[in-house]
């Protein structure tokens, strides 16, 4: 190797940008918050009791009535709730909510794989994972909106259960993580394209 080549390598090594400490920390925080949101979503969907209206408890999978304010009598046939289009509409609502969980698993997996990937462009996986989380938030809010629309005549602010608010909080948290992931990825990608070896592109 010539002396000129050795000097060029030294120059590139000296000017190679160091990865900021905050970037991997922020990415780890995004993954952690997305995982926490998935846990909250799973609990709220599995429980499914989202609305208490007088002596009736409406959920994704069934509705319940109380007898003597003590015992719950639950039915899976939502047509017996005597709410128009509740059975067909609720099937759409819990199908969308379940699909959101499946998509969230793939999105979170892509985010984690991108952090241990050794290929040249791990930001591809991170961008795809963040985009899937954004889709998850849209599906989650769609399921919540479907539920509220079907039971619009029964909904009260105090009647919505803790499981409903857990689902709402998780959906909003996933949305924030998706937007944050896309933003930090765009910043990192711009820096890597502009300075591929720590030097300006013109050089």
Q: Higher pLDDT residue, 125 or 195?
A: 125
Residue 70 lies in a domain: no
Number of domains in the chain: 1
Q: Which residue, 3, 26, 37, is CA-closest to 107?
A: 37
What average pLDDT is seen over the chain? 80
Average pLDDT over residues 60-82: 77
Residue 60 lies in a domain: no
Q: Higher pLDDT residue, 194 or 191?
A: 191
Look up the domain containing 169 and give its range: 38-50+83-193
Helices (H), 16-122: 22-47, 86-116
Q: Higher pLDDT residue, 45 or 19?
A: 45
* Predicted pLDDT of residue 132: 94
Query: Contact 100/93 with Cβ under 8 angstroms?
Result: no
Chain centre to alpha carbon of residue 198: 34
User: At residue 2, does pLDDT exceed 70?
Assistant: no
Residue 184 lies in a domain: yes
């Amino acid at each position: 190797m010539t002396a000129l080549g050795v000097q060029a390598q030294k120059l590139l090594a000296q000017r190679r940008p160091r990865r900021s400490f905050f970037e991997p920390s922020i990415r780890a925080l995004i993954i952690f918050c997305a995982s926490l949101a998935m846990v909250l979503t799973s609990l709220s969907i599995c429980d499914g009791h989202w609305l208490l209206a007088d002596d009736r408890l409406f959920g994704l999978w069934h509705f319940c009535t109380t007898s003597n304010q003590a015992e719950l009598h639950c039915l899976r046939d939502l047509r017996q709730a005597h709410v128009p289009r509740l059975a067909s509409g609720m099937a759409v609502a819990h199908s969308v909510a379940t699909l959101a969980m499946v998509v969230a698993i793939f999105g979170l997996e892509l985010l984690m794989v991108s952090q241990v990937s050794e290929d040249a462009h791990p930001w591809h996986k991170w961008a795809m994972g963040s985009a899937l989380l954004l889709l998850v938030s849209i599906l989650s809010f769609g399921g919540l909106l479907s539920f509220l629309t079907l039971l619009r005549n029964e909904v009260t602010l105090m009647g919505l259960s803790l499981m409903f608010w857990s689902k709402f909080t998780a959906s909003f948290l996933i949305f924030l993580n998706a937007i944050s992931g896309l933003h930090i990825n765009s910043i990192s990608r711009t820096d890597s394209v502009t300075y591929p070896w720590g030097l300006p592109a013109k050089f």
